[in-house]
Structure 1
Amino acid sequence: MTTTAIPTTPSDLSRPAFAALGRLTADPEAFRADPPAEPVVFRAPGGFSDLFGWAALDASLASSGRRLPDFRVISGGAQIADQRYTRPTLMYADAPDVRRTAGELAEGASLVMQGLQEYSEPLARFTRALAHDTSRPVHVNAYVTPPKSQGFAAHFDPRDSFIVQVEGTKVWTLREPVLTAPLAHESWDRLRERPEWTTERLEAMEPWRVLTLEPGDVLWLPRGWVHSARSEGVSSLHLTLSLTAWTEHWAVGELLSRIVEVPGRTAFPADFVRDPATAAEAVAGLRRGLADWFAGTSDEELAALLAGAAIRAFPAPLRQVSAVLADAPITPDTVFEVHRETVLSAVVEGGHLLLRLADRVLTFPEAAAPVLAELLARRRFTPAELPVAEDVIRRLWHEGLLTRA
């Protein structure tokens, strides 16, 4: 069976559109191909209040669906006791208490809203588009800091991030990495448990740069760069958009956890922990088994497995219950919004067009490729503008690739 990439004319169905990454950097195509190794600041003229702001923050805190650990209140670099800013509700005992939370912020504490891509529709759509542009899933936290306050001391993160200043200003102190490109398990919270890793050690380092972010500023912060931030005369609200890194370390873990035939089922002998010679012999056997397995597995097989694992980490399309149940009529003038970001790959295989979404694969006749490429190249369309069969439109609508405008 042969697999061929969809022709790029009239457009590539899964090619990045840069609708999101284009708001965060001046040259999104170059950025995607080779992200800067050092922090860089980009100025977005339009700002980001359409994604999140003070009003959205109030609405999110007031929502009955928010529960710990969706939000945290930080003071002195540590989380304060839950009961100081939560309240019981009819269903839960750990919902946010807006009055108490505001009181803690008035005393200098900071508020962290976590996983906002799961709760905010504007951020959900933006992060899906950003994930499509970068080929990396995105996680969003919001940080609210009152005037003249600091939430966290100097630290580093194991994820690349975009720092998006939405409201107010914040002064960032950046220091060069003490650990190059830390992996997911090498977070600062874990490493600082060791005696040689201390906050004092990081804060004693000479700053690489000190800069002030204003509304509309975007700071690209590569993983491992030491940073701390403090508000000055006004309150600050910024978003941290963290990007998953598909590292070789991640790949090894995925391979060992997903391949059924991989060596490793044999238990080590009882003397493994007592006798060094027995332990070395057991490890040598494992090493030989792994080497033989890798030698007998093609690069294509390994790549397909890893790509499939990565795709499943992306969010699934936002499907509309009304699209499935209401069976609303589709007229020539019905306006649909197109969500190209839901298509993670597109190939022709065995005479069929396969559109790979995060959680499923949609199959169409190969002949549908040109019209679907034209459809997915648009942000909006009506059936009158683009002659697509109603059953195809309805299916794309049901699957979340289209929504009624």
Structure 2
Amino acid sequence: MKLAKRVKTLTPSSTLAITAKAKALKAAGHDVIGLGAGEPDFNTPSFIIDAAALSMKEGETKYTPSGGLPKLKEAIIEKFKQDQDLTYTQEEIMVSSGAKHALYTIFQAILDEGDEVIVPAPYWVSYPEQIKLAGGQPVVLPAQEKNEFKITKAELSAAVTSKTKAFIINSPSNPTGGLYTKEELQTLGEVASEHDLTIISDEIYEKLVYDEAKHYSVASVSDELKKRTIIVNGVSKSHSMTGWRIGYAAGDKEVIEAMSSLASHSTSNPTTPAQYGALAAYNADESAVEEMRQAFEERLNKVYEQLLELPGVSCVKPKGAFYLFPNVKAAADAGGFATVDDWAAALLDEEKVAVVPGSGFGAHENVRLSYATSLSLLEEGLERIKRFIERTTA
């Protein structure tokens, strides 16, 4: 059977691939430490599970509006007001089947064939693929490690062409954990205003920031930037609800209406009981969120110094999310590996430690390690990596 050209251009997710290989090794009886996880290792808080179960018992198992439950939209509106002093209406909110679906639908709604979207690298693996599926052209803009993997106004300006339609901001970042300051967002916003660009602001990790850092949304910088920004967020990371698949987008009414129309012909609506779970999450205080954030911060601060002791490894300390993104090029070169991908593959084969090669994120000298796992496993994983480096470079 002949496949459509659009799917032949797709690159498989490197995160899912490494996770699948690690699971296969573990199933075969190997003692594998998986540091590739893109989800919290905590279970969803019980009050959220209970709320979803109760909704089903009360008959809330039918269709909802394609753009989401009105009362969940109201809870999201209140969250924006409380967290960022941003005001939205229900017509400016769309609830989606995960933040990934919100992003996919944005690109389908705003891109025509050949439109360019600037994607700062390192990037989340699905951005370029979703842009291509919408007929757009991802323009990868490498960010400098010395600048904490954040692009500058000058770099963004230089990447803009007559075909540029939008650019992406992911703060805190997957995979780097980088966090833009309010002043940095303002300067990037100036480029958007000058060239009439849409800003797609992926804020899924906003609740997971450390060392007294603060998350800012580019939409909160000014009313003008709010008008040209589409925020993407969800409960997957903040409330450990990855499998529930509830995300949302907030922005221009016309775009949101188009996205909801697209969703009506694809998903019909986000899963109804999951929406009630998300409603409970946003109607509660953030004690469960804070407990998880503190655990991640403790892990980060304990293992970061251990990571820096590894020969041939350097790492910018992340300010958010739950990933470390060390540069291991020197260690790979010293070990005689042609690429960091080869180094990571050998690490999994020989020491049974799974990390995600940075090539999937547009950064060929780095690997991604998730600290969304227990501290004991993290420490053991780093000990194995140290042993691997010492053996291969001896």
Give the TM interval when normalised to the shorter protein.
Answer: under 0.3
TM-score w.r.t. the length of structure 1 is: 0.22
Work out which of the two has the higher radius of gyration on C-alpha atoms and give 1 or 2: 1
Which structure carries more strand by proportion?
1
Higher relative contact order (CA 8 A, sep 6+): 2
TM-score w.r.t. the length of structure 2 is: 0.22
